[in-house]
Structure 1
Amino acid sequence: MKTRAGLLVLPGMLILVAGLIVPAIAFLFFPRGSGPGQVFAAFAGMFSDPFMLAIHARTIWIGLVVTALCILLGFPIAYMLARSNSRWVGMLLALAIFPLLLSNVVRTFGWLVVLGSQGVLGRLLTGLGLVETAPQLLASEFAIVLGLIQLFLPLSIISSYSAIAQVEPTLDEAARSLGAGPIRTFWSVVVPLSMPGVIVAATLVFAGACTAYTTPYLLGGSSDKMLSTQLFYYTDTNINWTMAAAVAMSMTILVFAVSSLSSVAGRLGRTQ
């Protein structure tokens, strides 16, 4: 049986290795016109360059803010959907994850219409007399955070919903029968038992926010670059493949580090 299972997995593993792992290793360590030595030297040099340090800090900061807001917004929505007895739960869940079916480019261009100086929000503020001139909300970290929240909030809802649905509703009833109110039941029962799913959601959102390209490129300005947009700059404008490989290596290490930390946190949570 193990041999048959291995044979079934083999085609997928071959495609994964040939289509993802080998090209990734080739780009990270053997970019055009250089080798591993130059890439590691460029990688080390980034951490003595204030410009690149600022980009790293901005990327991590935006990733943390987007992750925190997606969890804070997505978990209560997932909880209400998981505990609802309404016949419309399926429809509401579908609406919550519907944005995943739309192109990221389409959703990001929607924010251009809303946040532009002549956009919906600007006209609303000036029409209400709150401001004299419409604020410039585009080309800012604020715009990037909004766009990324819209992009990854459905992912947070799905992961949290799956975790909460595995928590037996009878545990809520047992806590309330012992005198716990709804809020205490939520924080003392539902949240701890759902924490593995929350960790998975946070990992996916953070990794996606730190590596997203379209949203930071369209909504961010030249002074609000992230690692993904800087990688594009090195491959399309500056044509510096060594620096591009160094930036890609930094992004890869960041994602793997966060994934490792979340895995350790998940195991610690299960042992307690």
Structure 2
Amino acid sequence: MTAEAVAAPAVRPVRPRGPGRHALALLAPGIVALLLTYAMPLVWVLRMSLNESGEGGLIRQTVSFATFAEVLSSAHWWNVIGQTVELGVLVTVCTLVVSYPLALFLARTTSRWRGLLVALAVTPLLISSVARTFGWMAILGNQGLVNKTLGELGIISEPLQLANNLTGVVIASTEIYMPFAILAMISGFGRLDPELEHAAASLGAPRRTVFRRVVLPLTLPGVLTAALMVFVLSLSGYVTPRLIGGGRVFVLATEIYDQATTALDWPVAAVLSVLLLALFGVVIAVYLRAQKVLEARFTGPQGARS
């Protein structure tokens, strides 16, 4: 061929195609389900919170922040919010303290019974939380197993007040949320390598130092995930505060139910629901910030900047 030969046409770069009709058709049922079961009820709650309540359960259709102002200016509702946060913090701390050794053991064990032990740890999830709460009512009551045993042993002369108060709710909630915390911790202990512990021990570090400088930092992501899960579950818990609390523990979940069904004050119930959602948002924002701090600590300044 000569120099005057016609050059081959340039090949156009292939552009990645966006989601086609088939992909959208496959996503459509899930999107519709999310809109019907999540987005629409949420929009309805937000719209209801802008209404005003009247006498006898009357709802005045309007667009006003008067109900928000009424709730936020009430000392009672601030006490409810404070007790909700207090319950969440206490349950989260107690659950992490009790669940961490179990999760660490299950993550590190090489026993052939490991699968069975993990199954036993999460077996309580197969039982309804209502049934478990009734069980704790029988255990923590004035004539329950704890007081009866301590009385027969001569340790106490009067029953301990372990039910119908915040103490009983914390005890029962801790046991109820332990399986969730254990599962979250086990899944988050991926960075824990036994060889690192052996290396630290071979360099002369005592067990406390190995745990403080090696084990604990590597397991913090799992602990953080478990803390988020337990805190969110305890904030929205209704059954345990209602039954164990005996009507003396006021949290947002129980008050939302009472306002909607007993007082028939739907605008106030909607406002409390919005405040609970806002509280969830604050908790998730704190979790994401803490997660970034941990990631920066593991990856170093370069990873933090990226």
> Which residue does 1:162 correspond to in 2?
187
> Which residue does 1:138 correspond to in 2?
163
* 1:37 and 2:55 aligned: no
Q: 1:123 aligns with which of 148, 165, 168?
A: 148
Counterpart secondary structure, 2:85: helix
> Which residue does 1:15 correspond to in 2?
33
Q: Which moved more, 1:239-248 or 1:14-23?
A: 14-23
- When Rg is computed on C-alpha atoms for both structures, the one with the higher figure is 2
Distance across 2 between alignment mates of 1:59 and 1:90 = 36
Q: 1:122 to 1:187 in 2, by over 3 A?
A: same
Q: Which moved more, 1:55-64 or 1:156-165?
A: 156-165
Structure having the higher helix fraction is: 1
Counterpart secondary structure, 1:139: coil
* 1:199 and 2:224 aligned: yes
Counterpart secondary structure, 1:30: helix
> Which residue does 1:107 correspond to in 2?
132
Q: 1:72 aligns with which of 93, 97, 105?
A: 97
Distance across 2 between alignment mates of 1:36 and 1:146 = 43
Q: 1:178 to 1:51 in 2, by over 3 A?
A: same
Distance across 1 between alignment mates of 2:33 and 2:169 = 34
- Root-mean-square deviation (CA, aligned residues, Å) is 1.9
1:249-260 matched pairs, under 5 angstroms? 249-260=274-285
Q: Which moved more, 1:119-128 or 1:97-106?
A: 119-128
Distance across 1 between alignment mates of 2:293 and 2:156 = 50
Counterpart secondary structure, 2:110: coil
Deviations 1:33-91 (A, max 9, x none): 355734x3322322321111111111101100111111111122111111112111111
* 1:150 and 2:168 aligned: no
Structure 2: which 5+ residue stretches go unaligned?
1-16, 52-58, 298-306
Distance across 1 between alignment mates of 2:167 and 2:101 = 23
> Which letter maps to 2:294?
G
Q: 1:194 to 1:6 in 2, by over 3 A?
A: farther
Q: 1:36 to 1:113 in 2, by over 3 A?
A: farther
Structure 1: which 5+ residue stretches go unaligned?
none
> Which residue does 1:264 correspond to in 2?
289
Deviations 1:117-138 (A, max 9, x none): 2211121122112223323321
Distance across 1 between alignment mates of 2:296 and 2:27 = 31
Q: Higher relative CO (CA 8 A, sep ≥ 6), structure 1 or 2?
A: 1
- Equivalent residue pairs, number: 271
Distance across 2 between alignment mates of 1:175 and 1:12 = 49
Deviations 1:5-24 (A, max 9, x none): 66544422321121112112
**Identity of paired residues, percent?**
32
TM-score (norm 1): 0.92
Q: CA deviation at 1:104?
A: 0.6
Q: Which moved more, 1:178-187 or 1:204-213?
A: 178-187
The answer on whether the counterparts of 2:189 and 2:221 sit within 8 Å (CA) in structure 1 is no
Distance across 2 between alignment mates of 1:211 and 1:34 = 28
> Which residue does 2:206 correspond to in 1?
181
Q: CA deviation at 1:254?
A: 0.5
Q: Which moved more, 1:2-11 or 1:233-242?
A: 2-11
Distance across 2 between alignment mates of 1:9 and 1:195 = 36
Distance across 1 between alignment mates of 2:111 and 2:239 = 37
The answer on whether the counterparts of 2:67 and 2:267 sit within 8 Å (CA) in structure 1 is yes
| Runs of 4 or more consecutive aligned structure 1 residues displaced over 3 Å after TM superposition | 4-10, 34-38
Distance across 2 between alignment mates of 1:61 and 1:168 = 35
Deviations 1:162-205 (A, max 9, x none): 12244222222222222222322222112212222221111111
* 1:228 and 2:237 aligned: no
The answer on whether the counterparts of 1:115 and 1:121 sit within 8 Å (CA) in structure 2 is yes
